[in-house]
Structure 1
């Protein structure tokens, strides 16, 4: 039988100790690699090329039932902007209800209105639907009109964490902005740098921002193990080599986790 949310939360290994490494895992194999490498948590998603979308029910359930690290599925019905139709919003709430039913540790979501503000009405429904399961706010935050105002709104709504690049192209470029947001947050919410975080810049981002939680894919390219490869037929983009794919590399995760041990 699936553990309930309170039981799973009580068994969380994270507590208040040390820096936390969250891996954006784009598949079951990426999730396995994240755990093997020592990650503390995964944001489980699909379609990294679109910035991430909601993974399948099967993927979510498998990870919850077979992994020991925290599983937080991304709830995003499509790529593109964060302004959703009523049908898309209904899908978001249904996905959240499923994640709560199978005792995910939390979910990652976020909605903006047409003017670039956090959609308070819909986000309040998200929090209510998820409760008591916690909800993190994804990089829709970076696309909002005013980061300082959005931060206060997200805190008031009851989100527990914000993934951010400081509104910049990546977290390294936005490190100073993230530092200011962390000061503003004043321990009322966890601010997690993400986007372009890697072993070359992790320590510097940590020093500049003062953050204790970091988000990255730790991905690498893997060659297909198929003996027969049809080089003519294409399932998708004609310019993409479909016999290579990206997923999390456990060795990269180990390196990142090792760096965090110095914080």
Structure 2
């Protein structure tokens, strides 16, 4: 049985590592620590030049919830165009109303823009914050999305196994359910066997020390609790282990 292994990354070094590990698709983001935000145009274009596998860009203009105002939506539409111009294969998106339903007016506008440029669509984990996942699933199908990325409404895929199984059953081949959040080589076999998902999503997070020779102990670029001289990168071996577990 063939599986898709999607790896989410937020730097070009991780792109190389993900491909080396055997990823079959990339979710391109900035700021993975915030759940993934829209990558820059330069990042998208360079990723398209490097990658030998499909790359989907996250379209999420800010951290926080999935309730967006007019300016946010306009930016998202422009970012979809940028993804197409950069040469990517698809986009990852999701929008909700204040009541937790899929905002179909906005979602349809975003989906139409993606389709205009021949981009594939992943509906992301906004479904995990929806008030009615069954309806959200039907909405994602009506938008023409290829897949839904979800943890099964839980903090991680292990806790969401039962809902993931229900999602796969309800989808009935009309849309792919992709399991993500806390997925590793240690649990991936159990997840796919228990739920029936054929696509999985992970970051394969690791870190490496900075190659800087001059290490500043005082100046901080952001959160004072984050070490600027530790670089987050995808571990190719972590991806390889997932690929091996599914082979």
Aligned partners of 1:87, 1:202: CA distance in 2, in Å? 39
Matched, 1:184 2:170: yes
Q: Is 1:122 aligned to 2:106, yes or no?
A: yes
Does 2:37 correspond to 1:53?
A: yes
Query: What are the within-5 Å matches in structure 2 for residues 1-263 of structure 1?
Result: 18-131=2-115, 132-261=118-247
TM superposition outliers: structure 1 runs of 4+ over 3 Å: none
Per the alignment, in what secondary structure is the counterpart of residue 112 of structure 1?
Answer: coil
3-state SS of paired residue (1:233) = coil
Alpha-carbon distance in 1 for matches of 2:138, 2:163:
15
Shift of 1:245: 2.2
Deviation per residue, 1:27-48 (Å, 9 max, x gap): 1111111111111000000111
CA drift of 1:222 comes to 1.1
How many residue pairs match? The answer is 245
Q: Taking structure 2 as the reference length, what is the TM-score of the superposition?
A: 0.97
Partner in structure 2 of residue 5 of structure 1: none
- 2 CA distance for matches of 1:211 and 1:165? 11
SS in 1 for 2:232: strand
Deviations 1:79-109 (A, max 9, x none): 1000011011000000001112333111101
User: Structure 1: which 5+ runs fail to align?
Assistant: 1-16
- Residues 45 and 87 in structure 2, CA contact (< 8 A), matched pair in contact too: no
Residue 13 of structure 1 corresponds to which residue in structure 2?
none
- Residue 181 of structure 2 aligns to a residue whose secondary structure is coil
TM-score (norm 1): 0.91
Cα displacement (A) at 1:57: 0.5
